[in-house]
Amino acid sequence: PRTNGGGDDGAWDAETVLSRTPSPDALAYSRDHPLLLQLAQQRRTVDDLARQLELREGEISGHLRQIDELQAVVDSGNRCTQIEKQRLQRLEDLVGWYEEQLHLQREKAGRMEDAHQSALRRTEARGHQAARELWAQLATADDDSRRLAERAGALASELEAARGREEGACTASASMAAELSEARRTAARAMVAAAVLSERLGERCAYVVRLERRLALREQPPSPPPSPPPAAAMSLFAELSKATDACSRLQATPPPQPDSSPEAGRGLLYWLAVCAHMAGAMYLRLCVYPVLRLVAIVARAVLGLVAPGMLARMNVALLAPRIRAAARLSQR
């Protein structure tokens, strides 16, 4: 339907036109036939226009829907654009922050480079000073080594003399050892002889006891035994006298004294060993230990110049046992 411009709600279709047009009579039909044809033509035109209008209204509604869809797309695009703008703003802020941090890092790197250069200069100065001190210590060590070499020569001559004396003492100790072995063999033979004599003495003592018992039995008055023949009595008294003399000799014989020659030989060997130990300790202290200490000082200085971290780790490794021992002592 289509509304007119004056606000009337009447429709311009064919039925409305026919209802508003008065029906012609027979006379008027002949006169109005061209008008009727024109009216029919206009009706067809109006119908065509109405159909076209409906089509246009459908197209317009479709275009309106498309406009709404495009408006929604535009709104979503605006929202996405706003989100992108916000994201770009955040990215710009982040880029500005990174640029500021980069500037700070460059300044820090410049300061660190200056500090490194100054530390390098100080390290070079300390290295030169340490090198000068090492050269001075090396010169002193050369003087000390020359003095130690002279002292070592003197000690070597003294050692040779001590070796000569030691060889003489060894020869004397060998002769004394031979004499000692001979004395031991003699003492062993004497001990064997003493054992044999003591066994014989025991037998003689038992025999004397038996003889005394026999004499006591003979001297009893109730039953006087018959007097022995003179030869038997003389032999009995001879045996008694022999046994008494043997007992007196054994009692008067002093015990064998131990020979003091082994003790003297051992004392001489002990003093020779003490002298050799003192000479070796003096040689180590005056000749070997200073050279080793000098080598250690040079090695520590070289490591301090080449690899300070390695020197620190070596110091820690050397001090670790002492630290652990101190910790154990403190715990005890």
Mean pLDDT of the chain: 72
Range in 46-55, 117-126, 263-272, 280-289 the model is least confident about:
263-272
The residue among 76 and 286 whose pLDDT is bigger is 76
> How far is Cα 113 from Cα 106, in angstroms, rounded to an integer?
10
Q: Radius of gyration of the chain from Cα atoms?
A: 73
Q: How many CB atoms lie within 10 A of CB 224?
A: 9
pLDDT over 60 (residue 290): yes
Whether 202 is covered by a domain: the verdict is no
Domain of residue 60: give its range. 14-95
Question: What contacts 190, CB < 8 A, 6 or more positions away?
Answer: 256
Q: Confidence class of residue 294 from pLDDT cuts 50, 70 and 90?
A: confident
Between the ranges 15-19, 196-200, 266-270, 292-296, where is the mean pLDDT highest? 292-296
How many domains does one find in the chain? 1
Whether 67 is covered by a domain: the verdict is yes
Tokens, residue 270:
């002990």
Q: Confidence class of residue 313 from pLDDT cuts 50, 70 and 90?
A: low
**Per residue in 234-247, pLDDT tens?**
444 454 455 445 44
Mean pLDDT of 69-74: 92
Whether 77 is covered by a domain: the verdict is yes
Whether 327 is covered by a domain: the verdict is no
- Residue type at 99 in one-letter notation: E
pLDDT over 90 (residue 22): no
> pTM of the entire structure?
0.25
- Please give the DSSP secondary-structure letter assigned to residue 3: -
pLDDT value at position 104? 93
Whether 215 is covered by a domain: the verdict is no
**Per residue in 156-170, pLDDT tens?**
788 788 778 778 777
Q: Find how far residue 17's CA is from the centre of its chain.
A: 116
Whether 136 is covered by a domain: the verdict is no
**Burial class of 263 by CB neighbour count within 10 A (0 to 12, 13 to 18, 19+):** exposed
Whether 139 is covered by a domain: the verdict is no
Whether 7 is covered by a domain: the verdict is no
* φ/ψ of residue 283, rounded to 5: -65, -45
